[in-house]
Amino acid sequence: MPLVAAVAASHAPNILLEPGVEWEDFMDLHFSMAPQGTSSRPTFEQQQKLRRDAEEAFGILRAELQRANPNVLIVVANDQFVNFFNNVIPTFFVTLADEVKGQFTRHKFHYKNHKALGRAILDAGIEKGFDLAFGDHIELQHTQTVPLYFLLREPTIPILPIYVNTWMDPIPTPRRCYQLGELIRAVADASSERVAILATGGLSHYPGTSRVGEIDTEFDHKLLQTLREGRGRALADYTKEQLWQAGDSEFLNWIVALGAVGDAKASSTFYLPDLVATGWGFVSWKL
């Protein structure tokens, strides 16, 4: 079967935190990293509207996924010092676990992992000179659980977490991430499974830096316009420095999905700057 569906979504924790006390906690903490110690804070009503709008966007993506009836969902995300740390930072990592679990506040997640598809991607990569790291255990974190809460809350199909190092320099080039997506597409097309792919992260934000609170909305709008035009291939020409500068290093996860969808046009795009730190983006492609 070919790749049957592709979506991409931000994974910012406040998408899933409850408006009110939980958002205030989140903002208190993140603005403690900003040079001024504070910044603009959305009101409770603004927080509620952002949550509603995000749920609506996720609803469109979920409908696209369900229509495609996949039987495995590849989840391309970055680790944020949960599974990997300064001991070893893999540039790319494929999960070979039997099952994967994680927790986000009171929400628990437990999925079967599609080990066979992971192994097929590893083997195909090795044949093509693309040697990926792998391992038998990972813990899911918000980079996966936030979108999964809205897109695959019930573990009706297995997932396959794939990690991209988007945070610890040296990060991979956009070109290399695009090539990983092409590799995944080739494996999906040769597989008997109906494969869907979800890329998470972004869009513009500057986590943990002195630029917390800035969002390069102009850059993000340009990215989304390029996706609507089906020119995602051109984004592989970006330099790492351009992505860093725009606060869009996590867009590398999305570029993996772009390599998988090729020249398909994004059919739905949503952009919601959260008034805190992150330009939330949500996209689906018609394949």
User: Of 245, 240, 277, 223, nearest to 8 (Cα)?
Assistant: 223
Indicate whether 42 belongs to the interface with another protein (CB under 8 A).
no
Which whole-number Å values give the CA distances from 204 to 84, 92, 153, 282, in the listed order?
23, 22, 26, 13
User: 115 vs 91, 118, 119, 121, 122, CA distance in Å?
Assistant: 20, 5, 6, 10, 10
35 lines the binding site for another protein (CB under 8 A): yes
56: DSSP letter: H
202 binding another protein? (CB under 8 A)? no
Nearer to another protein, 79 or 220 (CB): 79
* Nearer of residues 52 and 107 to another protein, judged by Cβ: 107
- Please state, in angstroms and rounded to a whole number, the distance separating the CA atoms of residues 162 and 148: 14
Question: C-beta of 86: minimal distance to another protein in Å?
Answer: 5
Task: Please say whether the beta carbons of 195 and 159 come within 8 A.
Answer: no
Helix axes 142-151, 44-68, angle to 10 degrees: 70
Peptide bond between residue 174 and the one before it cis (omega within 30 degrees of 0): no
- Of 20-28, 130-138, 153-161, 179-187: span binding another protein (CB under 8 A): 20-28
Which of 8, 17, 159, 160 lies at the binding interface for another protein (CB under 8 A)? 17
* Residues 58-117, interacting with another protein (CB under 8 A): 80-82, 85-86, 102-106
Q: Which of these ranges, 31-39, 130-138, 192-200, 244-252, lies near another protein under the rule CB under 8 A?
A: 31-39
Q: Which is nearer to another protein, 166 or 269 (CB)?
A: 166
Residue nearer to another protein on the CB measure, 85 or 229:
85
The binder of another protein chosen from 208, 218, 222, 229 (CB under 8 A) = 208
> Which helix (H) or strand (E) element contains residue 195?
strand 195-200
Residue type, 270: F
Q: Tell me: does residue 282 bind another protein (CB under 8 A).
A: no
33 belongs to the binding site for another protein (CB under 8 A): yes
Between the alpha carbon of residue 49 and those of residues 39, 42, 170, 269, the distances in Å are 19, 10, 37, 18
Q: Is 19 in the site for another protein (CB under 8 A)?
A: no
* CA dist., res. 69 & res. 5, Å (int): 9
Report if residue 262 touches another protein, rule: CB under 8 A: no
We find the least distance from the C-beta atom of residue 175 to another protein, in angstroms, to be 24
Q: How far is the CB of 163 from another protein (least distance, A)?
A: 14
| Contact footprint for another protein (CB under 8 A) | 13, 17, 21-22, 25-26, 28-29, 32-33, 35, 80-82, 85-86, 102-106, 139, 141-142, 145, 167-168, 207-210
